[in-house]
Amino acid sequence: MLSFALVNTLAGFLIVTSQSVILAKTSKSAAKFYSLQSLLLVLIFLVLARLQGAHELYLWSATAFVTKVVLLPLVMLKFFGKLVDPNLEAESILPPAASVALSAAVVILCFVVVLGVSLPGSADIKPALAISLAHFFLGLVCIVTQRNILKQVFGYCLMENGSHLTLALLAPNAPELVEVGIATDAIFAVVVMGVLGTQIFRQLNTLDARALTTLKG
Amino acid sequence: MVSSSLPLYALCGPLAASALIFATPARRALLPLYETLHVASIASALAVAFKIAADVVGGETLSAYHDWFMVDALGVIFLGLIGIVGFLTGAYSLSYIRHDLHAGALDVKRAKLYYALFSLFLAMMLLSVMANNIIMMWVAIEATTLGSAFLVGIYGKKSSLEAAWKYVIICTVGVAFGLYGAVLAYANSVAVAGDHHAAILWTTLIEQAPHLDPTIVKLVFVFALIGFGTKVGLFPMHAWLPDAHSEAPSPVSALLSGVLLKCALLAVIRYYAVTVRAVGPDFPQMLLLLLGGLSIAVAAMLFYVQQDLKRKLAYSSVEHVGLMALGLGIGGPLGVGAALLHAINHSFAKALLFCGSGNVLMKYGVRDLGSVKGMLRSAPISGLLIMAGALALAGFPPFNVFVSEFLVFAAGVKGGHIWLMVICALFFTVTVGGLIQIISGSVLGKCPEGLAKGDVGFAALAPMVVLFGLVLAMGVAVPKPVAQLIQNASAIVTGAPSVALTAPWQIEAKAERSSAVAAAAPSQESQQ
């Protein structure tokens, strides 16, 4: 039985996957969790498409499947698989428990914010909307708390997934070309970051963000 | 709106040149080919920008591809900047890159990459200022970051890679806020306008603005200001800017500071225009005054203490975009017009100085102001041009920056922000001190012994002389077509009748302005 409750439940699982991306021990497993998360996102799109009769969303889910479930994780595995800094994998500023607590705080805050917004047709999907906003900020949490520079790339991808879900929830009939533009940008962003990350690893022999402090003032 | 293919033609030249250079193998013997394609690219961008500008000055708004592209008086100001500054810094690149090749700082593979990315970067900036589709505008602005990241890190040194990484991460994450803002704006616009295709256009958003949800519009403006403000270089999101500007090759620094920051500013201005119509001017203006004022204060102090010439210039950019934000925050036809004029004037002056810093690097090999002395003796023309650029940036008449700074401050005093203006003026005095240091030490000072006399080549000096000509000409008088464009553009932003901006000494035009104000006043009263 398809209902908005299913959308909200699937959205809830997104938070679990993004937490796994943030806490993953290696970049490889983070890439796999990201792929899993994108698959959940595609499922949400499909359910929404069926519920709202939005044909564009079927196209979106196809594009999102190709770009986010398959291509982006492959690009990540190709670039990041070779970059392993034994001293640093997934070293966080915060202990895992604190990281989870922080994420919970972010989610609660976003629920409070979204409750104050009144958009036509958004009453049923408010939990999912709150989660999409929270997801955006969880990406930011990942960037700020992780010392591995590759985790900053994953943080950006989480932020991007958050905006993508908001777009699907609030404007399910947006032109397909818009979504292609956003997805293409995401792929190029990860490629550019991958190439730069590789060059930095070759030059500095580390992935520690704390090593990037030559330029100051 | 008039349908036209010109916006698409503007992209064709740089995109084709970029693709061709990428497709060509990297060989030393092919360098003239890369250079020819590069010149064709920057010349075509300039030519089409001028053609579009001529049409828009005549009062038309061009559109293309289902209205996804749109060039109005506001957009064309920035289009013109990309055309002119892109052409001049592109021309300057020719001798600069040859010098780097000879000096061994670049190999031919990287020189090829430089020219290919330069055109790509230009094309993405052109796309961003001509976009009428709010998501396409975001895509283009994000693509400018991706296109220019390798330009920043092209030397492949530790410091340049660090700068490129910070640039990509901070700007991508920052601009992700812009995407969220765009998504919210679009969702609200669909709910109001109903049409999924039209709702994504700026032109629709402006029309529907009074019907949008005030809470959402405020959220959208905050997201857009954080997002695109990161790329504009406003405090406290400016952290990438000094690193990227100082590590990039000098012509790229000139392009980043002179043009890229302004492309992002255009995005902020477009959201500002929507927000003003939806929730009134108070909310967006308060935020812009706050960020603008803080940017000026922090950047002035950091500018003063820098010893690295290019970092110094980068902090000066933060300060001047702060002044533009201040002008927008003051609002009204005068404040917005002055901010737009300052965007143009700062572009020319800063491009001149960053090219000057390129000459310093070609001549001295370092950027440390402690080692760069006596430019006037070792390279007299470069020395004079840097001196003129520094005086212009310090806000001395008869150069252009004085005119627009004066107008921003005048608008602020008129708008009742007298104390804020006094404080900002004091911070600008600190900057004057820093610029005088550059002149007295690096330009005048005592030339180090053993340094060969003789200026850099004609090819590097010619674009700088043209930039200097623009800095001077815009200082003597605001040209009529430019004044006309700014007047129309500020009317687009504020939605109210606008006034023609002139230099304080343009007496004839001043009389016209007072008559224009008199003519505008009754119509405002009748609206109330």
pLDDT digits (tens, 9 = 90+) for A73-82: 998 888 887 7
Mean pLDDT across chain A? 85
Q: Closest-CA residue in chain B for A195?
A: B150
Give A 20-79 residues with CB within 8 A of chain B.
none
**Is it the case that residue B36 has pLDDT exceeding 90?**
yes
Q: H helices within B194-279, ranges in order?
A: 202-208, 214-232, 240-247, 250-255, 261-279
Which residues of chain B from 184 to 203 reach within 8 Å of chain A, CB to CB?
184, 186-188, 190-191, 196-197, 199-200
Listed range (B64-68, B140-144, B499-503, B520-524) with the worst mean pLDDT = B520-524
CB-closest option in A156, A212, A214 to B176:
A156
Q: Is residue A63 over pLDDT 70?
A: yes
Instruction: Report the side by side order of strands in the sheet with B69-71.
Output: B2-3, B62-64, B69-71
Backbone phi, then psi, for B69, in 5-degree steps? Answer: -105, 140
What residues of chain A lie within 8 A of the CB of B306, using their CB?
217
Q: What is the pLDDT of residues A146-195, one digit of tens each?
A: 888 888 899 999 999 998 898 888 888 788 878 888 888 888 999 999 89
Phi-psi region of A120 (alpha: psi -120 to 50; beta: other; left: phi over 0): beta
Contact A193 B215 (CB under 8 A): no
Cβ–Cβ gap A196/B156 under 8 Å: no
Neighboring chain B residues of A190 at a CB cutoff of 8 Å: none
Which residue do the tokens 């009062």 mark? Answer: B59
Q: H or E segment at B402? A: helix B400-414
Chain A contact present for B156, CB below 8 A: yes
pLDDT of the residue at B508? 55
Which residue(s) pair with B63 in the sheet? Answer: B3, B70
Burial class from Cβ neighbours inside 10 Å (0-12, 13-18, 19+) for residue B479 reads exposed
What pLDDT sits at residue B171?
Answer: 94
Does residue B521 register a pLDDT over 50? no
Q: How does residue B507 score in pLDDT terms, banded at 50, 70 and 90?
A: low
Q: Which residues of A touch B150 (CB under 8 A)?
A: 192, 195-196
Instruction: Report domain extents, chain B.
Output: 282-496
Q: How far apart are alpha carbons A37 and A24 in whole angstroms?
A: 13
Instruction: Compute and round to an integer the Cα radius of gyration of chain B.
Output: 22
Q: Roughly how many angstroms between the first and final C-alpha of chain B, as a whole number?
A: 29
Cis peptide preceding B463, ω within 30 of 0: no
Residue B518 — very low, low, confident or very high, per pLDDT cuts 50/70/90? very low
3-state secondary structure of B368: strand
Whether residue A217 and residue B302 make contact (CB cut-off 8 A), yes or no, is yes
- What is d(CA B325, CA B334) in angstroms, rounded to the nearest whole number? 13
On the question of pLDDT at A89 being above 80, the answer is no
C-alpha count within 13 angstroms, C-beta hemisphere, residue B373: 10
Res A119: pLDDT: 65
In DSSP terms, which residues pair with B239 in a beta bridge? none
Residue B523 has a pLDDT of 43
Residue B109 at interface with chain A, using a CB cutoff of 8 Å? no
DSSP three-state, residue A83: coil
Tokens 């939990």: give the residue.
A127
pLDDT band at A1 (very low <50, low <70, confident <90, very high): low
Reply yes or no: is the peptide bond before residue A172 cis, omega within 30 of 0: no
Q: Give rounded-to-5 percent helix, strand, coil for chain B.
A: 80, 0, 20
pLDDT, tens only, A118-129: 666 667 788 888
Cβ-based contacts of A199 with chain B (< 8 Å)? 153, 156, 161
DSSP state of B237: S
Is the pLDDT reported for residue A206 higher than 90?
no
Give every CB contact of residue A86 below 8 A, 6+ residues apart in sequence: none
Rg of the Cα atoms in chain A: 18
SS3 state of residue B131:
strand
Residue B194: its pLDDT value, please? 80
Query: What kind and span of H or E run contains B396?
Result: none
**Region B235-258: what's the mean pLDDT?**
93
Tokens of B392: 């212009």
Q: Tell whether the model's pLDDT for residue B2 goes beyond 50.
A: yes
Checking if the pLDDT of B514 tops 80, the result is no
Whether the CB-CB separation of A133 and A113 falls below 8 Å is answered with yes
Cβ of A171 and B196 within 8 Å?
Answer: yes
3-state DSSP helix/strand/coil % of chain A, to nearest 5? 75, 0, 20
- What's the rounded mean pLDDT across residues B439-443? 89
pLDDT digits (tens, 9 = 90+) for B94-135: 999 999 999 999 999 999 999 999 999 999 999 999 999 999
What interface predicted TM-score (ipTM) does this complex get?
0.91
pLDDT value, residue B109: 93
